[in-house]
Amino acid sequence: MQKRVVFRSKSLPYLLLAPQIIVTVVFFFWPAYQALESSLFIEDAFGFSREFVGFDNFRALFADDVYLASFKVTLVFGFSVTLLTMGISLALAVAADRALRGATAYRTFLIWPYAVAPAIAGVLWHFLMNPSLGIVSYWLDALFGTDWNHYVSGQQALLMVIVAASWKQISYNFLFFLAGLQSIPRSLVEAAAIDRAGPTRRFWTIVFPLLAPTTFFLLVVNLVYAFFDTFSLIDATTHGGPANATSTLVVKVYQTGFVGQDYGASAAQSVILMLIVIAMTIVQFRYIDRRVNY
Amino acid sequence: MATVEIRDLTKIYPGGVSAVESVNATIGDGEFVVLVGPSGCGKSTILRMIAGLETITGGDLLIDGARVNDREPGERDIAMVFQNYALYPHMTVRRNMEYGLRNEGRAKDEIARRISEAARMLRLEDYLDRKPRQLSGGQRQRVAMGRAIVRDPKVFLFDEPLSNLDAKLRTQLRAELKALHDRLKATFVYVTHDQVEAMSLADRIAIMNAGRIEQIGTPMEVYQRPATRFVADFIGNPAMNFIEGRLDEGGHIKVDGTDVAQLGQAAPLHAGAKVIVGVRPEHLSLDASDPADGMMSLSMAATFQEQLGADTVIHGKVLGTDDALTLRLNGIHTVTPGQRINLGADTAHLHFFDAETGARLSA
């Protein structure tokens, strides 16, 4: 039997929902609508006049090599961050799951980076890797003779933001992987051990398949994080440079709109981002429930 | 097919908790041995040490004469059936049963042959392409057994395999398990907390208490000559009655002033020592008119009865004391609370235990 709460007054439920609805409308629907609207106009930098241009802003974007390059940067950045952070988190979670006793302390330490704000994490890595002051760049030079300078090398700059963004996300992934691992009955792994499967084979044939729902969920979450949530980190470290080497789609929206003052083009980019988010959300909702039940 | 020998097997968990203390046992080739005892007595720990899932703190474990203490579970040539079945949920029944054989690198046609053989034996042919979640509890348990059988191991280990099933299914699978053992003639080590399961399945029963084996013997041995009071209490349903008595100078045991038995000269007790007299509910009878030779007489105040159809179990107290007494009679009987019942028991059916140590006294 399901118990249903019945409100006597008709306005009370709406009143209770109002704060959430107001927040959603003001901070999500309104800006989204404005972005949709302005993506169809060209506006002068001071906001005095604007002209309806239809889909011209979009056409211009897809004809722009810099914009297309930033698509590529985003994909490289997004998938690298996802793979790196999930790989490391999974390895750490497996280790923590084995060392059952030390797990609590170990776990606590691993959760810390998640509490660090993205911009601060970015600046932290910026310092660590600073070509003249950074300890990591010093080590790289001493150990491998690498001439580290992410102010000059686009590849090195991209690598740096990938490492920083992954590092920050490891804690989150680690928690989910550890919870996933601990929900796998021990007797399954024991049965596999008796069935002559070595540790590696046990992991890939039993543990990893049973982790699939967690892995899939994290895959989507990490892609969304890397695509959309890393603006402050990148902006604080490289500003999208050098030469747009770290300019992902989100950074580009900011640069076009707030630095370049081209509101129409910036809005058009936002609309494209919006479509990507919607597509990824649909994928997640359609497949995640199906994959959970093995 | 193999023997299992454990010598001074000991398990002490980090932190000092001792689960198994110096246990010795030899399990013969093709024997069905059941480890039984209350929860926490160490029976599962012993099984898991044989399997290699728990490290052995002390002593030796020999399978077929070879010491296997330090071998990985997969290298001991054993198979185990778990209480929760431990079927791989993402694999079909066929895949579940194949898994071990694939890991051994067996040829495809041999794998197929073994699977079909086991599936036929366990009547699983129609379920081979299903996932475990599409099966009932009894079917899952049969798959778990199939996974063990196809491996053709030296020793089969069972960790309370039937305790997740309902009573009727349990009885049915118990019979199947017994038939399976007769057919495979393999060595079985079986853990349970259910004494009925132990009695009906085992060639020999090991009754465990607090990390030690109290007695190993055939079901009839442990029923007829329990080595300790614990064993006497654990085996048999309803449980044995215990009445306190005292030893007099002549080696006679007296309950409530009445002479119930003569203890042999070897009794290690002095006069006046407390002795526990045990008598099973089914060995008490109503014909106590005359305390003739070889009979102990006793009176009880009934409190209530359980009518089970074939039998009636009457609960009450030994008259004038607080000692609980249970009586099992054939057929249907009715008592009124407080009713006095005179009982007799053949002294040949009495058991005597040292009240201090719980050890059996002669006879």
- Residue A13 located in a structural domain: no
Q: Among B51, B86, B147, whose Cβ lies nearest the Cβ of A185?
A: B86
- Residue A69 located in a structural domain: yes
Q: What is the DSSP string of A188-214?
A: HHHHHHHTT--HHHHIIIIIHHHTHHH
Q: CATH number, domain at A138?
A: 1.10.3720.10
Contact A210 B90 (CB under 8 A): yes
Task: Specify the pLDDT at position B298.
Answer: 81
For the cut 70, the answer to whether the pLDDT of residue B274 exceeds it is yes
In chain A, where do the E strands start and end? Answer: 41-43, 50-52
pLDDT in tens, B65-122: 899 999 999 899 999 999 999 999 999 999 999 999 999 889 999 999 999 999 998 8
Picking from B90, B163, B191 by the largest number of A CB atoms within 10 A of its own CB, the best residue to mutate is B90
- Residue A70 located in a structural domain: yes
Q: Which domain holds residue A108?
A: 56-88+99-168+213-291
Which segments in chain A show pLDDT lower than 50? 293-294
B203 band by pLDDT with thresholds 50, 70 and 90: very high
- Residue A187 located in a structural domain: no
The pTM for the full model equals 0.80
pLDDT in tens, B319-333: 877 888 999 999 888
Q: Which of chain B's residues have a Cβ under 8 Å away from the Cβ of A214?
A: none
- Residue A185 located in a structural domain: no
Q: How far is residue A176 from each of residues A209, B109, B328, measured CA to CA in Å?
A: 15, 42, 58
The continuous run of DSSP H or E covering B206 comes out as strand B204-209
- Residue A264 located in a structural domain: yes
Higher pLDDT: B231 or A124? It is B231
ipTM of the complex: 0.83
pLDDT in tens, A205-236: 999 999 988 888 898 889 888 888 888 888 88
pLDDT in tens, B19-63: 999 999 999 999 999 999 998 899 999 999 999 999 999 999 999
- Return the bridge partners of B245, or none: B275
Distance of CA A169 to the CA centre of its chain: 8
Interface of A with B in 198-237 (CB under 8 A): 198, 201, 205-206, 209-210
Task: Specify the pLDDT at position A102.
Answer: 54
Q: Give percent of chain B above pLDDT 70.
A: 95
Average pLDDT of chain A is 83
**With contact defined as beta carbons under 8 Å apart, do B133 and B125 qualify?**
no
Number of domains in chain A: 1
- Residue A177 located in a structural domain: no
Q: What is the DSSP string of B129-161?
A: TS-GGGS-HHHHHHHHHHHHHHH--SEEEEEST
- Residue A49 located in a structural domain: no
